[in-house]
A and B are shown apart, each in its own frame.
Chain A
Amino acid sequence: MGLELYLDLLSQPCRAVYLFAKKTGIPFQLHTVNLFKGQHLTEEFSQVNSLQKVPVLKDGDFFLSESSAILIYLSCRCQVGDHWYPPDLQSHARIHEYLGWHADNIRGTFGVTLWARIIAPLMGLQIPEEEVERNKTGMSQALQQLEDKFLRDKAFLMGQEMTLADLMSLEELMQPVIFGYDVFEGRPRLAAWRERVEAFLGAELWQETHAPALNFLDQWTKNTLLMLRPESYPSFLLRIARIP
């Protein structure tokens, strides 16, 4: 039985997992779970992940959620280069240091642009300007720490080579960029890092991974976006209420 991945490429952690599997040449079967059609809320998907979230990995009868856990599992299970998840004591600890910081400071913060600009208005809601501003301040503080504490003068977040951390991080930062707020503006060091990661991954894979999000934006701009499913409203409202 081969590996299967349940993803929606509109989601940042899903894109990180997708990029990793594709770049390292791990064969997998893709199951698209369209969040805006409420496909994560079905009975069928609850069997895959009772928490009703993507990404999820299936390996035989083993199901695993949480993007960082999936990336680590794939790094160990498949023959990928050591550089993705370095085994030596200090580098290993550094990656986990990044992942812990990421959970507190990056995750949850960089997704807000999409909710404030597109999804909330589609639901007839308006996110108060004050919250949008607070979110921009939060992003800006996080970007400063990312630059000063993690990237510094290195090519990638952990050193001279790409790791899982770069994928997790960059895909979160791409979310506001895609939906109209360029977080790299005025940050040449981070912008240069983004270019290095993009170059490493290759233009084709990069475009393929971001096409669904760009397509979603395009449909929204042209006013042809499918209506959100009412079933999705409760979970969307919860997400909106969580905007700090």
Chain B
Amino acid sequence: MGLELYLDLLSQPCRAIYIFAKKNGIPFQLRTVELLKGQHLSDAFAQVNPLKKVPALKDGDFTLSESVAILLYLFHKYKVPDYWYPQDLQARARVDEYLAWQHTALRRNCLRALWHKVMLPVVMGEQISSELLAATLAELDVTLQVLEDKFLQDKAFLVGPQISLADLVAITELMHPVGAGCQVFEGRPKLAAWYRRVEAAVGEDLFREAHEVILKVKDTPPADPTVKQKLMPGVLAMIR
């Protein structure tokens, strides 16, 4: 059995893995796990990831969860260009630093922005107070500034002159608020120029394909009440 990737392109870390595997010509079987249908809560999927989250990887009898771990596994197992995770010790440490930082910073804020602005009110039918939404968007704004000032600075990409895993993980996060209708690049020319460089490095077609779902997220029909009931505990824990 070859490599299998369990993904839902609605999820930002899944998009990063999808793009990485496709871009580098890594052959895999795509196993779509539709989060909004609760497919991640099935017994069958618990065999792959008992923590019931996507992304997950299966390679023979080796199973692995967590996006960063999966990206590194693919990087080390397949022949892919060094720039994704540079050999140079300090450049590599910068990628690690970004990947550690984003968990509690950019990831948290992008996720909350999408859920507070679109997923909860439109899909789940839950009212979100305007104060909460404003606070979420203000936090996102602060984090975007950190992304620009501390990580991007005046470089072409987050860690240097070439694209790395850090850029891929960052851009797929940012497309969450973009899908929700936030103007994340407005008034941020440096970040906007970086976005275009990342898109070009990945290839426009692949970039578009990976983001089709999130860019149409506002048209998602309301969730079925029984499915909603199943999903809500996980959702609340995730966006807290």
Contact = CB atoms under 8 A, between A and B. Distances in A.
Given A62-B90, A100-B65, 16 more contacts: A50-B149, A51-B146, A69-B93, A69-B99, A73-B93, A89-B77, A93-B70, A93-B76, A94-B64, A95-B69, A96-B66, A96-B68, A97-B65, A97-B66, A99-B69, A103-B100
Interface size class of A (residues with CB under 8 A): 20 to 34
B96 A73 contact: yes
A67 B99 CA distance: 12
A108 B104 contact: yes
Contacts of A89: 73, 76-77
B104 A149 contact: no
Contacts of B100: 66-69, 99, 103
A11 interface: no
Interface residues of B, number: 30
Instruction: Report the 4 A-B pairs with minimum CB-CB distance, sorted nearest first.
Output: A100-B66, A103-B103, A96-B69, A69-B96
A27 interface: no
Nearest to A76: B89
Contacts of B97: 64-66, 69
B67 interface: yes
A44 interface: no
Given A51-B150, A66-B97, A69-B97, A104 B69 contact: no
B169 to A, nearest CB: 11
A180 B77 CA distance: 45
A31 interface: no
A62 B37 CA distance: 47
Interface in B24-77: 50-51, 62, 64-70, 72-73, 76-77
Contacts of A77: 89
Contact of A92 (B51, B62, B76, B93): B76
Nearest to B65: A97
A67 B143 CA distance: 20
Nearest to A101: B66
Nearest to A243: B240
B96 A101 contact: no
Nearest to B57: A93
Given A73-B89, A103-B100, A244 B240 contact: yes
A68 B103 CA distance: 12
Contacts of A140: none
Interface string A72-100: 11001100000000000110111111011
A153 to B, nearest CB: 16
